[in-house]
């Protein structure tokens, strides 16, 4: 199973992102815009995980999530990987509480459960909005959206998600855990 851990923002916040990018969807040659139903913030990517490892992975991730408090977040600005000039991924940036500690805990839990393909790149919180198969200059797109700041929202849950690749990517939520209430001592 191809798995990852993620935060899914509330619909009202995703509505704001949709409205912000709407004039640009379909206007950038070579940029594919994934279906909104797939939008999420990846905290840890595990790749292919054997089904027999799933019970241990769920226990470890539940434990990791409970050690972290809910996060106050907002979307602000847009960018691209690897750069706006030579982009393959177009994204919305995330500001607010740091998600790095939570992401690190989820990655560690995955490794301990035997998820051998855990992504070890430096964590950069973002929501992917577009993908290109070849390097694409997205500077005009990124610059045109530079003033965007979304409404604040609270991330209170983390999901373990199964990814089905192919012509139509789809996701299935396998488990969800609540973060500890914000303001906990």
Q: Which residues are catalytic?
A: 40, 126
Strand partners for 44: 5
Q: Which ranges of the chain have pLDDT less than 50? A: 185
Residue 167 is predicted with a pLDDT of 77
Structure token digits, residue 173: 């939520």
Q: Tell which CATH classification among 3.30.230.70, 1.10.3720.10, 3.40.50.620, 3.90.1140.10 matches the domain 2-74+99-125+154-178.
A: 3.90.1140.10
Triad 83, 87, 92: Cα angle to 5°: 80
- Give every CB contact of residue 45 below 8 A, 6+ residues apart in sequence: 4, 117, 118, 119
Residue 88 is predicted with a pLDDT of 96
Whether the full predicted model's pTM is greater than 0.75, yes or no, is yes
Residue 185 is predicted with a pLDDT of 47
Residue 118 is predicted with a pLDDT of 66
């Amino acid at each position: 199973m191809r798995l990852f851990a993620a935060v899914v923002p509330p619909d009202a916040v995703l509505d704001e992102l949709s409205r912000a990018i709407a004039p640009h969807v379909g206007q950038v040659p070579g940029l594919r815009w994934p279906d909104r139903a797939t939008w999420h913030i990846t905290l840890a990517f595990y790749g292919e995980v054997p089904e027999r490892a799933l019970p241990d992975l769920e226990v470890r991730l539940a434990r990791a999530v409970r050690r972290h408090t809910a996060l106050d977040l907002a979307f602000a600005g847009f960018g691209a990987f690897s750069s706006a000039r030579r982009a393959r991924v177009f994204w919305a940036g995330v500001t607010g509480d740091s998600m790095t500690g939570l992401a690190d805990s989820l990655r560690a839990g995955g490794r301990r459960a035997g998820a051998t393909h855990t992504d070890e790149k430096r964590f950069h919180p973002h929501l992917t909005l577009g993908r290109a198969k070849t390097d694409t200059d997205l500077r005009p797109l990124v610059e045109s959206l530079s003033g965007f700041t979304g409404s604040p929202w609270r991330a209170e849950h983390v999901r373990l998600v199964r990814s089905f690749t192919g012509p139509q990517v789809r996701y299935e939520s396998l488990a969800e855990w609540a973060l500890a209430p914000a303001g906990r001592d």
